[in-house]
Structure 1
Amino acid sequence: MPVTPMRLKVLLPFQVFTERTGVFRIVAETREGSFGLLAHRLDCVAALAPGILIYETKAEGEAYVAVDEGVLVKTGLEVLVSVRNAIAGANLGHLRETVQRQFLDLDAKERSVRSVLAKMEGDLMRRMAAFHNA
């Protein structure tokens, strides 16, 4: 039985990062762990965690892309991956370091900044309420 290839498109906020046809296998990472996609798998949507996206084509073999958090949508033979940032590379160890250094550290810093902003907004709201009630 011949294997039907899929089409993979990785989207960034303002551009198409990569578009591949003839993709036979995709492995993606979620907060719950890794999962694989083959052409015959049912359609699905998955929230992606920062990690390594692996895809395989006959022409390229196995290819690796470090991706930030995002969403994967499979409909039929089309797989769309929308992420905040992506970096392609052949060295899996280097890409794993990139995920740790850039994507996961950025997420921690972003959470910290959001926490500080939430505290500032809360303080501002209390002051406005006190001023309004005075």
Structure 2
Amino acid sequence: MPRHGLSLTIATPARVMVDGLPVVSLRAEDESGAFGVRVGHADMVTLLSASVVRWRTADGGEHYCAVDGGVLIVSHGTAVSLACREAVQGDSLEALEADVRRARAAQLDAMRRARVEQTRLHAQAVRQMLRYLRPQATRGEPG
């Protein structure tokens, strides 16, 4: 952990997006609104809203990560950890917005395909059940 800054970690179930990155400050948003974190911040745990988390590095660069909510933990006034289901990282808000739009469109398409497949499997199961439930005579066997 850096002595004179914050250490930022952002993780999803699939990967660690940011791993111990030294940052000067961080802004996030929970149910009560936006808040900032700097070195020496009190320990805390909060549930983030779906929002954009932003942080500033020592070189003055501002970076962004769109999250679908998640848990943010500040510990020892020097470490910030964020765990969320999904995150999209970017160095500009415009690029991040486009990336989030693309990711959302891909997610919606995958959900649509899954619904189509679920409907197909359901129809196939119903046809199979009807074949077995029909009277013997309709299957060409003596009744």
User: Could you say whether these structures have the same fold, taking a TM-score greater than 0.5 normalized by the shorter chain as the test?
Assistant: yes
Summarize deviations over 1:10-44 as a string: whole Å, max 9, x none. 01013211124321100011122110001111111
Please give the TM-score of this superposition, normalised by the length of structure 2. 0.62
Distance 2:25 2:50 in 1: 19
The 3-state SS of whatever aligns with 2:24 is strand
Structure 2 gaps of 5+ residues are 112-143
User: In the alignment, does 2:16 pair up with 1:11?
Assistant: no
Unaligned ranges ≥5, structure 1: 110-134
Change (3 A) 1:93 1:32: farther
Whether the 8 Å CA contact 2:63–2:92 is kept in 1: the answer is no
Aligned residues: 105
Residues 60/84 of structure 1: CA separation in 2 closer, same or farther (3 Å cut): farther
For residues 70-89 of structure 1, the aligned pairs below 5 Å read 70-76=70-76, 77-89=78-90
Larger Rg: 2
Answer yes or no: is the 8 Å Cα contact 1:30–1:49 preserved in 2.
Answer: yes
Conserved 8 A contact 1:6-1:78: yes
Task: Please report how far the alpha carbon of residue 91 of structure 1 lies from its aligned counterpart in structure 2 after TM superposition.
Answer: 2.6
Equivalent-residue separation in structure 1 for 2:17 and 2:74 (angstroms)? 17
1:27-46 to structure 2, matched below 5 A, reads 27-46=27-46
Quick one: which amino acid aligns to residue 49 of structure 2?
A
Following superposition, the deviation at residue 4 of structure 1 comes to 1.9
Cα deviation, 1:103-133, whole Å, max 9, x if unaligned, reads xx98xx9xxxxxxxxxxxxxxxxxxxxxxxx
Give the share of equivalent positions with the same residue, in percent: 28
CA distance in 2, matches of 1:41, 1:6: 10
1:1-134 matches, within 5 Å, as 4-59=4-59, 61-76=61-76, 77-96=78-97, 98=100, 102=104
